[in-house]
C-alpha cells in the first residue's frame, strides 16, 4: 500500500510503498477515505531524534492524525467492546490516543492521557496511507450520514477548537465578548461553535484578509487585521473599555500573547491553543492577579469533544471547507499549507 512517511529524523517525509498491514489480536484495520493535514504535521521534519527517548516515538512512521474511513478488517479477540463492527461501515477516528484506564481518562480528560505522547501520525503509523491499523476499537466513532472522506478535520481541528470553546462557555453569556486569534482551520471551527453554543459577541483577528472575510461568513461579528498598530487598544475600544471575557489564541506567538493579556476583562479566561512558542515578557502576577484572570492550555480534543463535533456536523450545522489532494500530491498539499494558502483544511485522499 501507499503511505506518506517520515523515514528519518530531520528529513522531509516521502511517499513509499509498504506492505499491507494485517490486524493482530484486538486490532482493527481501517481503509482510509481521507486524512486532514494539520499545522503540527509541518513541524515533524524539524523534530530531534531525542523524541525517541523523550516520547517513545519510533522511526519510520506514517504521518496523519485526522482520519475518516471505513472498517476494513477486524482482528481476533476484540474484547471489552460490545459494539459490532462490519466491513464497509463508515467511521471517524479520534485523533488523540488514550488508554481508557488512567485517572485522566477516567475523568473524561483523555486528551491529557500519557498514551498521547505518541499517537497515530506522531511517532506511530497514521492515516496518510491506503490503510491504518488501530490497536483497539477505542478511538472509533461510527458515522451515520457524514462522508468519511471529509470527516477527518472534525476529529482534530474540530475537536481541539471545541475543547477550547468548552473552556470558556461559562464566561460567555449575553453582553459578553470573545476574541478568536487566528481564523484558519481551528479558528474557523471555533467561530462556528461559539455562534452555536454561546451568546457572546465574537471578535476575530488574523493577518490574512481572505481568512478575515471567511471569519465574517462563519459568524464573526467583527474581524480585525492582526498586524494593526495597537490592536489591544482597538479591541478595548470595541468593548467600551471593558476588554474581552475570553481569548482563544490559536497562534500563541509573543505578539498574540501580549495582545491577549492586554485586552482581557476582569475574570476573563485566556486559552492558549497555538504552539507558536511565544513568551510573556512581564511579571505573571502583575499581568493576571488584579483582574482575577485564569489561563488554561491543553493539546487536542477528547473522545467526548469529537462525538459532540460529529453530532453537530451530522445535523448540518458546520461548514467544513476542505481542499482535496490525491495521496500522490501529498507533498504539494504540505507546501500549500506551509505557504498559508489554504482557506480550510487540506485532505489527502488515498
Ligand atoms: Zn493536529
Ligand atoms: Zn489514559
Look at residue 84 in the predicted model and tell me its pLDDT: 82
Question: Which three cell numbers, joined as nine digits, stand for 11?
Answer: 528529513
Q: How confident is the model at residue 80 (pLDDT cuts 50, 70, 90)?
A: low
What would the mean pLDDT of 264-282 be, rounded to a whole number? 94
Q: What are the Cα distances from residue 101, in Å, to 104, 171, 250, 303?
A: 8, 32, 30, 14
Q: Average pLDDT, whole number, for the chain?
A: 95
Q: Cα(101) to centroid of ligand 2, in Å?
A: 5
Look at residue 297 in the predicted model and tell me its pLDDT: 96
Which ligand gives the minimal distance to the CA of 113?
Answer: 2
Is the confidence at residue 78, as pLDDT, over 80?
A: no
Chain segment 201-220, per-residue pLDDT in tens: 999 999 999 999 999 999 99
Q: Count of alpha carbons within 13 Å of 183, Cβ hemisphere only?
A: 28
Q: Cα(101) to centroid of ligand 1, in Å?
A: 24
Which ligand gives the minimal distance to the CA of 102?
Answer: 2
Q: Cα(58) to centroid of ligand 2, in Å?
A: 20
Which ligand gives the minimal distance to the CA of 110?
Answer: 2
Nearest alpha-carbon partner for 183 in 347, 343, 10, 16 = 343
Query: What backbone phi and psi angles, to 5 degrees, belong to 122?
Result: -140, 85
What would the mean pLDDT of 303-315 be, rounded to a whole number? 98
pTM: 0.95
Rounded CA separation 58/210 (Å): 39
Which ligand gives the minimal distance to the CA of 138?
Answer: 2
Look at residue 94 in the predicted model and tell me its pLDDT: 98
Rounded CA separation 266/288 (Å): 9
Is the confidence at residue 79, as pLDDT, over 70?
A: no
Q: Cα(156) to centroid of ligand 1, in Å?
A: 5
Q: Cα(37) to centroid of ligand 1, in Å?
A: 7
Cell 477516528 -> residue: 93
Look at residue 293 in the predicted model and tell me its pLDDT: 97
Rounded CA separation 259/282 (Å): 13
Q: Cα(54) to centroid of ligand 1, in Å?
A: 20
Rounded CA separation 200/176 (Å): 5
Is the confidence at residue 249, as pLDDT, over 70?
A: yes
Which ligand gives the minimal distance to the CA of 114?
Answer: 2
**Contact indicator for 129, 62 with CB cutoff of 8 Å:** yes
Is the confidence at residue 228, as pLDDT, over 70?
A: yes
Is the confidence at residue 83, as pLDDT, over 80?
A: no
Q: Cα(263) to centroid of ligand 1, in Å?
A: 28
Question: Which tops the pLDDT comparison, 14 or 342?
Answer: 14
Chain segment 12-49, per-residue pLDDT in tens: 999 999 999 999 998 999 999 999 999 999 999 999 99
Q: Cα(138) to centroid of ligand 2, in Å?
A: 11
Which ligand gives the minimal distance to the CA of 122?
Answer: 1
Look at residue 283 in the predicted model and tell me its pLDDT: 87
Omega cis (within 30) before 60: yes
Q: Cα(96) to centroid of ligand 1, in Å?
A: 9
Residues 6 or more apart in contact with residue 341 via CB below 8 angstroms = none
Report the 10 Å Cβ neighbour count for 297: 14
C-alpha 308 chain-centroid distance? 14
Q: Cα(155) to centroid of ligand 2, in Å?
A: 18
Which ligand gives the minimal distance to the CA of 36?
Answer: 1
Which ligand gives the minimal distance to the CA of 105?
Answer: 2
Q: Cα(111) to centroid of ligand 2, in Å?
A: 8
Q: Cα(38) to centroid of ligand 1, in Å?
A: 5
Question: Which three cell numbers, joined as nine digits, stand for 3?
Answer: 503511505
Q: What is the dihedral of CA 187, 190, 191, 194, to 10 degrees?
A: -160
Look at residue 128 in the predicted model and tell me its pLDDT: 98
Q: Cα(7) to centroid of ligand 2, in Å?
A: 29
Secondary structure (3-state) at 95: coil
What would the mean pLDDT of 103-109 be, rounded to a whole number? 97
**Contact indicator for 197, 165 with CB cutoff of 8 Å:** yes
Secondary structure (3-state) at 295: strand
Query: What backbone phi and psi angles, to 5 degrees, belong to 233?
Result: -65, -40
Amino acid at each position: 500500500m501507499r503511505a506518506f512517511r517520515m523515514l528519518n529524523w530531520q528529513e522531509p517525509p516521502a511517499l513509499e510503498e509498504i506492505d499491507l498491514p494485517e490486524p493482530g489480536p484486538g486490532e482493527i484495520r481501517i481503509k482510509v477515505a481521507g486524512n486532514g493535514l494539520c499545522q503540527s504535521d509541518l513541524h515533524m521534519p524539524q523534530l530531534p531524534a531525542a523524541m525517541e527517548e523523550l516520547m517513545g516515538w519510533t522511526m519510520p512512521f506514517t504521518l496523519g492524525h485526522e482520519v475518516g474511513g471505513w472498517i476494513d478488517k477486524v482482528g481476533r479477540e476484540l474484547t471489552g467492546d460490545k459494539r459490532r463492527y462490519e466491513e464497509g461501515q463508515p467511521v471517524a477516528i479520534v485523533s488523540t490516543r488514550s488508554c481508557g484506564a488512567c485517572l485522566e481518562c477516567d475523568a473524561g480528560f483523555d486528551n491529557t492521557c500519557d498514551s498521547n505522547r505518541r499517537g497515530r501520525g506522531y511517532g506511530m503509523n497514521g492515516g496518510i496511507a491506503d490503510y491504518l491499523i488501530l490497536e483497539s476499537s477505542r478511538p472509533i466513532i461510527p458515522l451515520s450520514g457524514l462522508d468519511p472522506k471529509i470527516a477527518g478535520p472534525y476529529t482534530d481541528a474540530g475537536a481541539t477548537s471545541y475543547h477550547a470553546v468548552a473552556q470558556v462557555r461559562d464566561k460567555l453569556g449575553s453582553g459578553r465578548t470573545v476574541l478568536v486569534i487566528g481564523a484558519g482551520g481551528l479558528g474557523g471551527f471555533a467561530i462556528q461553535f461559539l455562534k452555536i453554543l454561546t451568546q457572546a459577541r465574537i471578535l476575530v483577528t488574523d493577518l490574512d484578509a481572505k481568512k478575515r472575510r471567511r471569519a465574517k461568513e462563519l459568524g464573526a461579528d467583527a474581524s480585525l487585521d492582526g498586524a494593526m498598530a495597537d490592536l489591544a487598544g482597538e479591541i478595548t475600544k470595541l468593548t467600551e473599555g471593558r476588554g474581552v471575557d475570553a481569548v482563544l489564541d490559536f497562534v500563541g506567538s509573543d505578539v498574540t500573547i501580549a495582545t491577549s493579556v492586554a485586552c482581557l476583562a476582569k475574570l476573563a479566561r485566556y486559552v492558549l491553543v497555538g504552539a507558536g512558542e511565544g513568551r510573556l515578557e512581564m511579571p505573571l502576577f502583575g499581568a493576571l492577579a488584579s483582574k482575577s484572570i485564569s489561563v488554561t492550555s491543553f493539546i487536542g480534543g477528547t473522545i467526548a469533544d469529537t462525538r459532540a463535533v460529529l453530532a453537530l456536523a451530522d445535523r448540518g450545522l458546520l461548514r467544513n471547507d476542505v481542499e482535496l489532494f490525491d495521496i500522490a500530491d501529498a507533498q504539494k498539499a504540505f507546501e500549500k499549507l506551509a505557504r498559508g494558502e489554504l482557506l480550510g483544511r487540506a485532505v489527502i485522499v488515498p
